[in-house]
Structure 1
Amino acid sequence: MTAVKSLFALDKHFADYPGLTTEADTLYRRASALSAQAGLYYAMFLTETGGDESWPRARDLLLRAHEDGCDQAAALLGIEHERRGDLAEAERAYLLAVDAGEEPPKWNLAMLCKRLARYDEAEAWFAEFGDDDKDAVQQLARVAALREGGPRAADEVDFRLLPGLRELAEAGDARAGYEYAAMLSDWRGKNARYLLRWMEPAAEAGDSEAAYDVAELYAALRRFPLRDAWHRRAAEGGDHHSCHHMGWLSEQHRDYQEAERWYVRAADGGPLLNSMLAGKLKAQRAAYAEAEPFLRIAWEEGEGSVYWTEAAGYYGLVLHRLGRSEEAVEPLEEAVDRWEEDVRSRYDRDDLDLLSRMVRPEKVLEEVEAALSA
């Protein structure tokens, strides 16, 4: 078992070195024949690195581990079933874990019942955690609000919709497949391999929202060329997040004009950060009149954000270069006051190309003060 645990600790490297998985699979398989506990680790390996064809073997290994008294086996089985939308099987596995004396699966059962609108059962499971558990008390309040007909929050999934969506998806409805996968999406990307086959048809059909999510799934799988290819397709379809990603990627390749074009597209209705980035790159190539509206909105509406000091520095530069030196004083003073802490600390001090392009607000402020005194 010690050797298997050590092998399991290497799982995070398999995405970078996929050739290792074949040898690891052989070692896990041999160990699982000798120990149910090793079988549990093998099942976790299969769910992390294998596709749908590996799931039956992983499921059987987890069942065997549970029957042999391995802690967490049934709970892990429930989690994997839930990630695949097999909710009845997930509930059955969680109950097996609770019957074996495990406490954490009670939370999984409570959340599952809440998502299925089985509010009496959800309240009973949440109540198991007692009045001192703030999270449980908060969830009980949410259940009470939902019971009264209150709307679900954006992150509260209604699992009752899953069977219908899956049926439509299996009949060829690409959008239903995307919505089915989006409901099951795990923000940690643990079920990325399973979700891809449901999401990709909508992305292939030109749905930019689906293309962005497919890119994120490939990111979770550390398949970066595919991540970037899907971000490009999503960006070309107008997705602001993917436009930002393409801007960032272009900056990494030192293609600053391409990065600027993507940030301009991302700024059109997207987060203010993109306005700052677009304006910054325009200022760096001395397109001051073009930069001004992007930096103005970042300066005026972005106060308190992590990028506000940087926006201030470039906005002050632009105003000065446009002959509006009096207006440049306030943003430049703000920038000088916090530049080292808010801006320089976020960038690589050894990146000479970046440093050569960066505005120096203290020098620009000196120019402004000299111009105004003259």
Structure 2
Amino acid sequence: MSFETGSRAWRVLGAVAAAAVAVAAGLLTSQGRLPAAVGWTVEVVAAAATGLLVLLVFLPRRRGQRAEPPPGAAPARPELGGTGAIHILRISELDPIRLGVHPAWKLPGGAAMPPYVPRTADAELDRALARGGLVLVQGDAAAGKTRTAYEAVLRNAARLGWEAVVVPQDETALRELARTPPPRAVVWLDDIERYLTTDSLDDNLLTALCPRMRSDSVVLATLRTRAREDLGIDAEGTGGRSRRVLTRVTPVHLERRLDRAETAAAHRHRTDARIAGAIVGDTGGGLAEYVAAGPQAVQRWRSGREGENEPGAALVSAAVDLRRAGYLDPVPLDWLMTLHPVYLSDRFRARFGETDLAGALDWAVQPVRGASSCLIPAGPNRYVAFDYLVDSVDPGDEVPEAIWQRLLGTHLLTADQMFRIARAAVRFERLSEATRLWTGLARGRDQFAMFNLGWAAQASGDEASAEQWYLRAAEAGNSWAMSSLGTLAENRDDVAMAELWYRRAGEAGDTTGMTNLGGLFAQTGRIDQAREAYRQAAAAGDPNGSRKEAVLELLHGDRKRGADLLRRVALAGDPAAVRLMGLLSQTDEQEPHRPDVEALRRLAAEMGDGEAALDLARNLWNQGDLDAAETWFRRAAEGENGRVAEFGLAVLLEQRGRGGDAEQWYRHSAEHGLPEAMLNLGTLLQERGEYDEAESWYYRALRSGHLPAEVNLGALHWRRGNLEEGRSWYQRAADRGDALAKQALENLEARG
């Protein structure tokens, strides 16, 4: 696509100028240098002018002729059937691309999508769908989450009585859907983070969408692993009821790479070149990302930044960073036009000056291998960044200041958008920007904004201000604030006030307040009241209540009943209960093998418990299942005790003859401080003659208290011809009783 010279060029310049006026007006207004009424008017007029000029740029010159899409450009996301913001699709009408499955790269004369390769997680997903409620498929970007969910709908529709899939356009539509939910339907929430704000997905809404104990109505959602981390679902802090709902859902995890059984299934479909390329070639990634051309899209973006098309890559970078900063909706083109200069190099500016924005946009939306493009059209003059690119960015990389100024400088954000941006600002340690957004919302008496301001004050150490904001939020009906007021009171030993606020929180529907009340009762010796509080929390759907009641029984009541209750909670998928069961099983070493305990340990590993994953990897290794052991060592390496798992993986890989991979993992473990890994890494280096680095690692192991390194230093110096130095190290080890060193000295003596 190329712009015509003359009038179109002037329209582009006009659009850029108008966009700049809008940004300037927003900044001056936000800084107090321009009256709000004037600034808002200027910004709206400028934004309208920008939109009009952008529209004129892309209008064809001849009237009565429809504008054609740029040659080879990715098609805009098609609208789903139905009316308004809620789209209802019959099962027979489902199209994977329209539901969010990434397009596959094209084969001449081939099907649009490759055959589905069954995943190990399919069985777990089928069981979860049969139970009903909220079902969450979680994994990395382009791991195949949406395709797996789509295939699960087709597979289970007849069995579970589903007649339609309902797709709300956004969080507002989701709330509207809950008022009159259709029966026998799947509510489809692809990329569930787009629907999560403060109260868009709470227990009441879930119950309305899919009544408990019914599988003919279910909410099926997908969530990227990085998005879960960004949401802070598993951490304390700001948020809304949505996040708390997700903490009680055990996700169905989808691994990025195929396991052994999945690879065997993929081989049955290797007549499709896309599948064959993924499983036969050394792609370094997973099947789904290979089919969606994810790595190639990252490479195209990188090549653009390095000079292939800097302006096009700059448009993509702006869209990526807007999403990282919490703006999850399709981005207006004029925003990208305004922001893209931030990403241009000084060399490009000096050499080319004015940007060919039309050519840049054409490059950015060009599908990679006919699959996903770096910048995906999502409506008239609106675009979203390919999520694979978003997740390829290091989480620690800063978002440019201009992005935050663009977002905070507009007065057209919805409350939901403001909450998302504030949450991202907290993640990037920009608490002042988050506070500014929450303060604006609090002026309208938004209870969640007031609660978050209380949290921000408490995080800053200002408990007096925190209490004031919590009080205002509680008066507006925020049950989280009531719980926080109870915690503040408990921290200052005001038991009566803590009990009052916890009770009010529980009565307002906050199960955490009720479990906190149970804990307060238990600490003050009121065991029967504690038991009742925990039961009320459990009856409201909070597994914390059942688990804490179980612990209460173990400590203060019927130990057998407590163990049985804890086992039931664990088998229902509560991670904390699973870990507690593991601890209980270790208290009696004479207890015979228990299959249920083994099952619980595996469940703990599957739910992210690093220690359980490490134990499982060791057991699988001992049983001879080396492929499975390698998989679990890799998963355990992501946990808190990752350096031990990294070492175990390195030893396993070395045993399997993969020395290069083993060295990489030894190095990871050694750099994370494990002395045994330092020793083994030094040994590998010594064997190939890299004596200096080997000696360095031996000394590091010795400084870490790992005395066997003395023997290795003796052998190293002896091999290098430093006989006396080698003998000295052997002697040090022998003096402390090292049998290997003693044997080495005897051998030296025998040689004379």
Shorter-chain TM band:
0.3 to 0.5
Give the TM-score taking structure 2 as reference length: 0.23
| Structure 1 or 2: more strand by fraction | 2
Higher relative contact order (CA 8 A, sep 6+): 2
Q: TM-score, structure 1 length as denominator? A: 0.42
